[in-house]
Amino acid sequence: MVLSVETRSTAVVIPPVEPRNLAKVPFVELADGRLQGVVSSGSDIERVYVSSIGAGTHGLSCSTNNNRPCGGLRGAHPCKHLQALLAEAEAQYGRQRVARYLRVEAEEGVSLLSALKPHHEPTPAATVFSRFLRHLAYLEVPGSGEPIPELHWFPSVRETRSDI
């Protein structure tokens, strides 16, 4: 898929360093002083998690887009969503850039995850999620019949109601 960036001054689509798993982590960014993104639920295709790791602070946050806390994030132990987020961030931006941004000191061969000094620091999901929705809007390419990988995971609004 080729995006014409020059006609869309606000949308900067940077090709990932390595192939990304967009079904698992449809959105990842280094912004707002956090590594943050949206992660599909492993068990429920209708649910997504908004996960983030604070740069420097290494504060961990994970909740559904309705602000329900993630059951897998207990204290300082990163849940599988945060693990997936970090892995995909490395694929998107490269390990060095992610380590620099988060201020993680990790030697070669040591996972960035294990080098974090994490603690639980809940962050409102709404901000990240609205950035994700805007990101999806940028991806709409007029006249393109190609499928957009980021949209494949997207649960229909009707079905998410049953989650309440």
Contacts to Zn ion by CB under 5 A: 49, 62, 70, 72-73, 79, 81
| Shortest distance, position 122 Cβ to Zn ion, whole Å | 12
Can you tell me the distance from the alpha carbon of 79 to that of 26, in angstroms, rounded to the nearest whole number? 17
- 8 A C-beta contact, residue 63 and residue 69: yes
State the angle between helix axes of 95-102 and 80-93 in degrees (0 to 180), rounded to the nearest 10. 120
With respect to Zn ion, which residue has the nearer C-beta, 84 or 98? Answer: 84
With respect to Zn ion, which residue has the nearer C-beta, 113 or 141? Answer: 113
| Shortest distance, position 27 Cβ to Zn ion, whole Å | 15
| Shortest distance, position 67 Cβ to Zn ion, whole Å | 13
Can you tell me the distance from the alpha carbon of 78 to that of 113, in angstroms, rounded to the nearest whole number? 8
With respect to Zn ion, which residue has the nearer C-beta, 8 or 77? Answer: 77
Catalogue the long-range contacts made by 142-145 (C-beta closer than 8 Å, 24 or more residues apart): 144/1
With respect to Zn ion, which residue has the nearer C-beta, 72 or 94? Answer: 72
Q: Which amino acid is at 2?
A: V
| Shortest distance, position 147 Cβ to Zn ion, whole Å | 27
